[in-house]
Structure formats: C-alpha cells, structure tokens
Amino acid sequence: MTLEKLQAIIEAALMVAGTPLSVSNLQNLFSEEERPATADIKQALANLEARHRESGIMLQEVASGFRLQAKAELSPWLTKLWDERMPRYSRAFLETLAIIAYRQPITRAEIEDIRGVTVSSHIIKSLLEKEWIRVVGYRDVPGKPAILGTTKNFLDHFNLTTLTALPPLTEFKNLETQEAQLQVQLSIETETDHQVSNHE
C-alpha cells in the first residue's frame, strides 16, 4: 500500500470516527496482511498535520490519540451553525476543576480548604457526569472521603496528551476562554455522531 493511500484512509477514519483514534486503533482498520507499521502510521499523521496547517482543520493529538478538528480561531463563525446556546460554566465550576487538575489526588474537603468556601455537590456531580473527573480511591480517615482525580476524557477535551502538558496555573485562569473555543469541537463531534447514527 502506498503512503498516499494509507494517508487517505487515516484521514477519512479520523473524520468519521467522532472520537480520537490511537495508532493502534488505526492499525486495526487493516487486515493482518496489510497492517501498516507504526512508523508508517506516524509518517502519514505527520503528513496530514503538515497538509492541514494552512486550512481551517487541524490534526490534534490528545490523550486518547488523534482527531481532526476545527481551528479554535474560527469559533466565532462556526458556533452560528448551532441554534442551541453553548453551555457556560460558573467560576466556581472552573476553579474546582482547576484545583482537581493541579492538586490531584484530592478530596472535596481539601478543595474547600483551598477555595475557602463550600464546594457544591452539583459541581462535583456535574464533573463526574461529564467524566472529566473520577473517584480514584478513598482517604483512610474517618468518613472515608472520596479522592478525586481527572480522567482521559478531561485531557481529550482540553487538547492535552498528559497532565504534564497542563499550562502554568496562572495561564489556567483563562480556562473559561479555552472552554468557549473547545465547545466548537464538541459541537462538531456531537453533530457528527448524530449524523452517523441517523445513517446506521
């Protein structure tokens, strides 16, 4: 198989998948006889990244793999494709998420100590439902409070490959701006999923 053909297959797969695809996921698209080497997959991905550099689409690597997504600077126009207002999160919600991301593993009481105010149960529940955080264990103290940490979905959502890729805490204060831009990607993924399900 030529590199051009491999690249075309990978590009199409990333467009229709609706979720990030790892190198292993991409290799599994092929039969055992034509299964491409890891180096060939990575070369095809590098070529795609270069090809889309000047377009409105970009190849983004996240914790779960790779995905094609709209560039954030195009969000003022792309958001007009959806009638529904995109959700905006409160400062308390964003502060709680930031504390968990930077101080994990951490309990709710420890988050409250840092913020100086009570953390709403609704915020914790919402973060768990979004699968941005998870219970990673229980503190060995009276009451056995849950210990919280972030998930791979959190990394994927904020275009991160690992926790070490988190920006400095001072920059993370701009999370609300980043979130507004990333809602474009989420909307595209949701719309793609809807279209795929309608054609199954």
3-70 against 91-179: fold identical: yes
Picking from 44, 35, 39, the residue whose alpha carbon sits closest to that of residue 6 is 44
Contacts of 158 (CB under 8 A, 6+ apart): 178, 182
In this predicted model, what pLDDT tens digit does every residue of 125-136 receive, in sequence order?
Answer: 999 999 999 999
Instruction: Tell me what pLDDT residue 146 has.
Output: 95
Report the pLDDT averaged over residues 63-71. 93
CATH architecture of the domain with range 91-179: Orthogonal Bundle (1.10)
Contacts of 104 (CB under 8 A, 6+ apart): 136, 148, 149, 150
**Residue with the larger pLDDT of the pair 28 and 176:** 28
> Domain extents for the chain?
3-70, 91-179
Picking from 24, 20, 66, 28, the residue whose alpha carbon sits closest to that of residue 47 is 66
Class of domain 3-70: mainly alpha
Amino acid at 53: R
In this predicted model, what pLDDT tens digit does every residue of 172-183 receive, in sequence order?
Answer: 555 555 555 555
Q: pLDDT class for 193, splitting at 50, 70, 90?
A: very low
